[in-house]
């Protein structure tokens, strides 16, 4: 257990539905990241926050995706109008300090039927 | 754009063997490089982190080296055990001039199987 938690761990939804995932980082970590991983591939960067500010968004993050980190604590990732291509593991990581070691949560596995 | 390649894609060895996993990256402007382990269906566990100014980092039976100028890192596992079976991922962190720029770029990983 790295100290980063994600909820839910699994989500099955029908195409067109909206889903929201939550990430709780390690409490003193000011930077939080979202990645997406499809089967057989390494994780791909989606977005990251320093405190409550979203500093970078990947081109993978279409306008159906939105992420927030109110008050610089937990973060949510919402996907609107889900598509089958959104099926993946969504990973959250957090870090702090000069070494920038990223600690990953267990992930949320999304299946879109 | 950073691209990361890991060789081999899969490796199967008998217990007790020493082995080397290779990682190459195209952009040498990195802040650090992390090696991770991922068990099936699970999140990532950080194994080692090497700062861009370091050449080597060790933890137990694991040793990672970094040659930033040539864009290469290796992970050496000594005396492999069946419990080492997992996917191993390397990920350089973008950065320059002592500042990191957030995102890790991952390779596709090396799937390691250690059989008894």
Give the integer Cα–Cα distance in Å for B97 and B33: 15
> Rounded to a whole number, what is the distance in Å from the CA of B108 to chain A's nearest CA?
4
Cβ separation of B93 and A2 shorter than 8 Å? no
* Structure tokens given for B51: 């700062």
Show contacts of B67-72: CB within 8 Å, 24+ apart: B68/B28, B68/B30, B69/B28, B71/B24, B71/B25, B71/B26, B71/B27, B71/B28, B72/B22, B72/B23, B72/B24, B72/B25
* Tokens standing for residue A81: 């109008």
Selected residue with higher pLDDT from A22 and A40: A22
Residues 59-88 of A with CB under 8 A from B: none
Is the pLDDT assigned to residue A78 strictly greater than 70? yes
Calculate the average pLDDT of chain B: 92
The single residue listed with the structure tokens 């980190």 is A69
Any B CB within 8 A of A43 CB: yes
- B98 has pLDDT over 70: no
Rounded to a whole number of angstroms, the distance from the CA of A97 to the nearest CA of chain B is 11
Distance to chain B for A20, nearest Cα, Å = 19
| Confidence bin at B97 (pLDDT 50/70/90) | low
Candidates B42, B102, B105, B111, partner chain A, best to mutate (most A CBs within 10 A): B102
Model pLDDT for residues A27-48, shown as the tens digit of each residue: 889 899 999 999 989 999 999 9
Predicted pLDDT of residue B96: 65
Q: Stretch A84-107: mean pLDDT, rounded?
A: 90
Confidence of residue A62 (pLDDT cuts 50, 70, 90): confident
Q: Is A102–B31 a contact, with Cβ atoms under 8 angstroms apart?
A: no
Q: Return d(Cα B98, Cα B91) in angstroms, integer.
A: 18
Q: How far apart are the first and last CA of chain A?
A: 30
Structure-block tokens of residue B67: 């040659």
Q: What percent of chain B has pLDDT over 90?
A: 76
Copy the structure tokens of residue B98: 């002592």
Of B41 and A36, the structure prediction assigns the larger pLDDT to: A36
Question: What pLDDT does residue B100 have?
Answer: 65
Chain B CB contacts of A44 below 8 Å: 106
Buried b (16+ CB within 10 A) or exposed e, B18-27: ebebebbbee
How many whole angstroms separate alpha carbon B19 and alpha carbon B4?
A: 20
A101-105 average pLDDT score: 91
Q: Does A99 contact chain B (CB < 8 Å)? A: yes
pLDDT band (50, 70, 90) for residue A53: very high
Chain A residue closest in CA terms to B109 = A42
Q: Look at strands B44-51 and B99-104 and give their pairing.
A: unpaired
Predicted pLDDT at A96? 79
Pairwise pLDDT comparison (B84 vs A27), residue with the higher score: B84
Mutate to test the interface with A, among B50, B104, B107, B110 (most CBs of A within 10 A): B104
pLDDT of residue B101: 65
- B76 burial (CB, 10 Å; 0-12 / 13-18 / 19+) is middle
CA of B88, closest CA in chain A: separation in Å?
10
Q: What is the mean pLDDT of chain A?
A: 92
Peptide bond between residue B8 and the one before it cis (omega within 30 degrees of 0): yes
């Amino acid at each position: 257990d790295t100290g980063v938690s994600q909820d839910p761990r699994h989500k099955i939804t029908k195409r067109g539905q909206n889903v929201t995932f939550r990430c709780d980082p390690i409490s003193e970590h000011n930077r939080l990241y979202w990645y997406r991983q499809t089967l057989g591939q390494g994780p791909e960067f989606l977005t990251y926050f320093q405190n409550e500010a979203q500093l970078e968004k990947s081109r993978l993050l279409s306008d159906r995706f939105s992420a927030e980190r109110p008050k610089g604590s937990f973060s949510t990732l919402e996907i609107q109008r889900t598509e089958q291509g959104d099926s993946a593991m969504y990973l959250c990581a957090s870090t702090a300090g000069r070494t920038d070691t990223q600690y990953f949560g267990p992930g949320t596995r999304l299946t879109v039927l | 754009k950073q691209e990361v390649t890991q060789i081999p894609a899969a490796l199967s060895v008998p217990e007790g063997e020493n082995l080397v996993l290779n990682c190459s990256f195209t952009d040498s402007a990195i802040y650090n490089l992390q090696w991770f382990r991922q068990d099936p269906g699970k999140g990532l566990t950080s194994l080692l982190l090497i700062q861009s100014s370091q050449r080597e980092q060790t933890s137990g039976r694991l040793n990672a080296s970094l040659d930033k100028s040539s864009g290469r890192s290796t992970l050496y596992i000594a005396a492999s055990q069946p419990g080492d079976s997992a996917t191993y991922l390397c990920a350089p962190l973008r950065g320059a001039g002592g500042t990191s720029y957030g995102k890790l770029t991952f390779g596709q990983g090396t799937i390691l199987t250690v059989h008894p």
